[in-house]
Amino acid sequence: MTTSASTQSQGRIQLMETGIPGFDEIVGGGLPKHSLYLIQGLAGSGKTTLACQMGFAHAKKGEKVLILTLIAESHAKMINHVSNFSFYDETLIGNQIMFHGAYPSLARGGLRELLKLITASLSEQKPSILLVDGFRSIRNSSPSDLDLSEFMHSLNSLVASMGCTTFLLSPIEGNIPDSENTLVDGLIELSQYEQGMRLVREVKVFKMRGANHLLGKHAFAVRPEGIVMYPRLETIVGKKNAPPAATGNYISTGILSLDRVVGGGIVQASVTNLLGSPGVGKTSMGLHFIDQGLKNGEPGLIVGFYESPQRLIEKARRIGIDLATPVARGQLEIMWQLPLEVLPDELASCILDTVRQRGVRRLFIDGVEGIRQICMHPGRAPSFMIALLNELRVKDVTTFVTEQLNYITDPGRGNDSSASALYENILLLEFVEHNDAHLRQMSVMKLRENGYDNANHLVIISDQGVTIDGYISDIKSGKQADQPQ
């Protein structure tokens, strides 16, 4: 949630925009102002980048930012490191953004001297934001638990009375029962999740007083423009809990013979799964679906993982479908992403943003296996897909999804898809042997809200496209001549 103003209200509490894409949504609309926050995480997790990015965002609005350093990197190194990001503005250094070394005060007089320094700095500089880097040095100075608790309580009262939102940076992990964790208003942790050779950065909000933050972990990335956060799709969709609208409208699949089989078409804003063996024609059927929408003047979107846009356009041309022209005219977008080092929530954000901006009415996801491969956390893929497909239904998007069956069916393994929860319609495409040849066969496994022909049908793919032509049983019984493939 963002607004044009630098603050917004949630009840009686003023919220401050973070300036970090996606972060405001995670923390419940923004950070409660004049509060004390602990940003923690092990070395390299992104604490300093996050804090500096927030500081520069507010300094550009004319607010003053004070950065106090304890035993951490020097001011020169800190400036040098963040200067590689596009949020960096050298003209703000020394004017809106001030640096001060606080460790000598801590070394000389402990927590009492450090608190005096902070009090004097806030009175003199009157900053809107205070960043304290290397806060773990305070714990390492071996204060008693009582002394540290008194310091944290005094610091919290000080920043609230001075109207200064304050961030403490500490290289630790875990919600431990120490004073720096329990006596702050907000506890944010940056971490890294590792699976095999892959690693993803994550943020988790342990607590946020005065805000309704999103629970659990959320992925983020460090880009040339700085940190970009991606709220976990399941938490957003679950929090909204928006039901799709009921509709009695039917739309064409783009294959007239298929429309007859499924009772006149498929329900608008439904999701259809084309489940089948490799090479059986799933992608070709999906391309017909998109082509029909383009002929109706409906903007379309194709999301693919394995075939590049150029190869997809060429495949469409060979079955009589022109995708190159609508792509050139902006009626169709082909979004291609290798299923490698990509964040699923980033991909979902791109899909949903494109749907909203282009007014997409038909979406074709070619190869749902690609989404499962990029979901690093075990077991996350089904809930992620439920959230994504529900959002598409709510946005009145009709979706086709292809899914590949194994070359060899293993009765003990089963199918990994949560088909009944994900899809209103399931069409099964397989190869069947007849007279030493493989014929393509299609059958309707599931179809909601309308009647359908449940027989096994012959599928023919030619340079004229895909057609559903007759019954497999008739061919096997000799009631009609074998059809060319």
Nearest in space to 40 (alpha carbons), one of 48, 32, 29:
48
- The pLDDT of residue 2: 41
Name the one residue in this structure whose structure tokens are 């294959």: 255
- The pLDDT of residue 406: 65
**Residue 482 domain-assigned?**
no
Tokens of 375: 């979901």
Task: Report how many domains make up the chain.
Answer: 2
pLDDT for 6 beyond 80: no
Query: Which residues contact residue 14 at a Cβ distance below 8 angstroms, ignoring those fewer than 6 apart?
Result: 7, 8, 32, 33, 34
**Residue 444 domain-assigned?**
yes
Compute the average pLDDT of residues 328-340.
94
**Residue 445 domain-assigned?**
yes
| pLDDT tens readout for residues 367-401 | 999 999 999 988 899 999 999 999 999 999 999 99
Helix (H, G, I), strand (E, B) or coil at 95: coil
**Residue 347 domain-assigned?**
yes
Q: Residue 411 — very low, low, confident or very high, per pLDDT cuts 50/70/90?
A: very low
Query: Which residues contact residue 58 at a Cβ distance below 8 angstroms, ignoring those fewer than 6 apart?
Result: 6, 16, 19, 65, 128, 129
* DSSP class of 93: B
- The pLDDT of residue 434: 76
**Residue 238 domain-assigned?**
no
| pLDDT tens readout for residues 67-125 | 999 876 678 888 988 999 999 999 999 999 999 999 889 989 999 999 999 999 999 99
Instruction: Give yes or no: residues 216 and 255 share one domain.
Output: no
294 and 331 Cβ atoms separated by less than 8 Å? yes
| pLDDT tens readout for residues 263-290 | 999 999 999 999 998 999 999 999 999 9
Q: What is the rounded distance in angstroms from the CA atom of residue 181 to the CA atom of residue 107?
A: 23
% helix / strand / coil in the chain, to the nearest 5?
35, 30, 40
Give the 3-state secondary structure of 279-334.
CCCHHHHHHHHHHHHHHCCCCEEEEECCCCHHHHHHHHHHCCCCCHHHHHHCCEEE
Name the range with the highest mean pLDDT among 9-13, 51-55, 444-448.
51-55
Instruction: Give yes or no: residues 320 and 288 share one domain.
Output: yes
Q: Which helix (H) or strand (E) holds 180?
A: helix 179-182
Domain that holds residue 275: 250-477
Helix (H, G, I), strand (E, B) or coil at 420: helix
Instruction: Give yes or no: residues 18 and 121 share one domain.
Output: yes
Provide the percentage of residues in the chain whose pLDDT is more than 70: 92
Instruction: Give yes or no: residues 256 and 207 share one domain.
Output: no
Give the range among 163-167, 255-259, 430-434 with minimum mean pLDDT: 430-434
**Residue 207 domain-assigned?**
yes
- The pLDDT of residue 163: 95
Instruction: Give yes or no: residues 130 and 205 share one domain.
Output: yes
Instruction: Give yes or no: residues 355 and 322 share one domain.
Output: yes
Instruction: Give yes or no: residues 24 and 154 share one domain.
Output: yes
Name the one residue in this structure whose structure tokens are 């084309």: 274
* DSSP class of 92: G
Instruction: Give yes or no: residues 314 and 366 share one domain.
Output: yes
**Residue 432 domain-assigned?**
yes
Instruction: Give yes or no: residues 163 and 258 share one domain.
Output: no
Instruction: Give yes or no: residues 226 and 260 share one domain.
Output: no
Q: CATH number, domain at 470?
A: 3.40.50.300
Compute the average pLDDT of residues 427-435.
87
Instruction: Give yes or no: residues 176 and 59 share one domain.
Output: yes
Residue where a domain terminates, one of 178, 198, 231: 231
Which ranges of 83-178 does DSSP label H, i.e. alpha helix?
103-125, 136-140, 145-162
- The pLDDT of residue 248: 80
Residue where a domain terminates, one of 204, 231, 258: 231
Q: Is the CA virtual torsion 463, 466, 467, 472 positive or negative?
A: positive
**Residue 484 domain-assigned?**
no
pTM equals: 0.86
Instruction: Give yes or no: residues 70 and 143 share one domain.
Output: yes
